[in-house]
């Protein structure tokens, strides 16, 4: 549990944890409270099948969430972005995305800011403030659920590097997958990492058995380390070893995410390098044309999104190398809610 005005926070607890907190009450009360907690209610007063005296007790002694929604934005494509203010002044962002099949996916943050400094990411530009607690991660989903009740998938692709906050993320995933609660399949949860080899090995050894995506951008080592400074401590050979070990144990396909930058990482040589890196792995390459934000530069020059011809030619080059290629659906750009565009901290 996390603190909000020194009160224990209930959002994000599994049923077993709720049962322990309210062990002095009959079991059915714990179940009632838990069902309300996972529904995304805004206050204890909404728990209308509880006695007024119990609702008052909950209000006096517990906090529902570790923070509150401070802004809500809607894009014309159906995307919803929330700004969530924590008690220490930190503001994080979470997004609900709809695809063409009416599937709704929650994109959640694990850190306030990010310490890794990828040059193409707005969150990387604003720096790092702190890790989020499990309650702060879980509550993003619950706040989004008030707008979109039928969220079926979760991607841990918001602000921050998930594998640098793995203990709290594990607790949040326990909440999402609790069979007595939200009961979201681990197959519907994807964690995206910039490539923390130690964290990938930790996942391989200790789970959870979710889907894994690697933000690769380029498989040319020298260029990758310039675009993604974390690559200096996690060079591609080390990452490859970790991915091989992960796949050996988890038996899951790995997504290689490629943020495409005009004139930088979309040539035939880039495609050949990806094929070499992916050799021996079961992968799919997901192409993400860069979502523009104000400010990012690479070695003194502003970043630009690739042209459609550049994207098409690169996709063809990858396929010619025998790689399976998919294209990221463009969602949330109108409210700066797309991949790489999250970036509020105040």
CA–CA dist 78, 89 (Å, integer): 28
Q: How far is CA 318 from the centre of its chain?
A: 26
Q: Strand runs (DSSP E) across the chain, as ranges? A: 3-4, 7-8, 67-74, 80-86, 91-98, 104-107, 111-113, 128-131, 151-156, 189-193, 211-215, 254-260, 283-289, 297-298, 301-302, 325-327
CA–CA dist 8, 211 (Å, integer): 31
HSE-CB at 167 with a 13 A cutoff on CA atoms is: 2
SS3 8: strand
Calculate Rg over the CA atoms of the chain: 21
Query: What is the C-alpha end-to-end distance of the chain, expressed in Å?
Result: 24
> Catalytic residue positions?
93, 339
Q: Strand runs (DSSP E) across 245-319, as ranges? A: 254-260, 283-289, 297-298, 301-302
Residue with tokens 């035939």: 268
33 CB-contact burial (10 Å; exposed 0-12 / middle 13-18 / buried 19+): buried
Query: What stretch of H or E contains 227?
Result: helix 221-227
Helices (H) and strands (E) in the chain, counts: 11, 16
């Amino acid at each position: 549990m996390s603190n909000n005005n020194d009160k224990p926070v209930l959002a994000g607890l599994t049923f077993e944890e709720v049962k322990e907190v309210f062990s002095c009450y009959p079991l059915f009360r714990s179940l009632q409270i838990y069902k309300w907690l996972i529904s995304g209610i805004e206050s204890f007063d909404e728990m209308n099948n509880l006695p007024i005296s119990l609702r008052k007790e909950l209000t006096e002694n517990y906090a529902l969430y570790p923070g509150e929604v401070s802004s809500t934005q809607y894009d014309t494509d159906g995307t919803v972005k929330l700004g969530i203010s924590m008690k220490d002044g930190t503001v994080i962002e979470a997004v609900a995305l709809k695809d063409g099949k009416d599937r709704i996916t929650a994109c959640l943050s694990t850190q306030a800011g990010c310490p890794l400094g990828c040059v193409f990411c707005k969150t990387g530009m604003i720096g790092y403030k702190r890790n989020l607690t499990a309650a702060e991660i879980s509550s993003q989903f619950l706040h989004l659920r008030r707008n979109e009740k039928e969220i079926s998938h979760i991607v841990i692709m918001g602000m921050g590097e998930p594998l640098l906050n793995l203990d709290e993320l594990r607790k949040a995933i326990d909440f999402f997958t609790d069979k007595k609660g939200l009961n979201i399949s681990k197959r519907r949860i994807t964690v995206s990492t910039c490539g923390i080899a130690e964290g990938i090995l930790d996942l391989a050894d200790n789970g959870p058995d979710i889907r894994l995506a690697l933000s690769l951008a380029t498989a040319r080592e020298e260029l990758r380390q310039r675009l993604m400074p974390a690559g200096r401590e996690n060079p591609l050979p080390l990452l490859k070893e970790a991915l091989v070990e992960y796949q050996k144990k988890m038996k899951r396909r790995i997504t290689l995410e490629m943020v495409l930058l005009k004139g930088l990482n979309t040539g035939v040589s880039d495609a050949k390098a990806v094929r070499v890196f992916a050799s021996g792995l079961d992968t799919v390459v997901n192409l993400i044309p860069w979502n523009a934000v104000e400010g990012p530069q690479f070695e003194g020059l502003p970043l630009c999104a690739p042209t459609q011809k550049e994207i098409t030619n690169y996709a063809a080059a990858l396929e010619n190398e025998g790689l399976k290629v998919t294209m990221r659906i463009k969602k949330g750009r109108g409210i700066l809610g797309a991949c790489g565009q999250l970036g509020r901290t105040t």
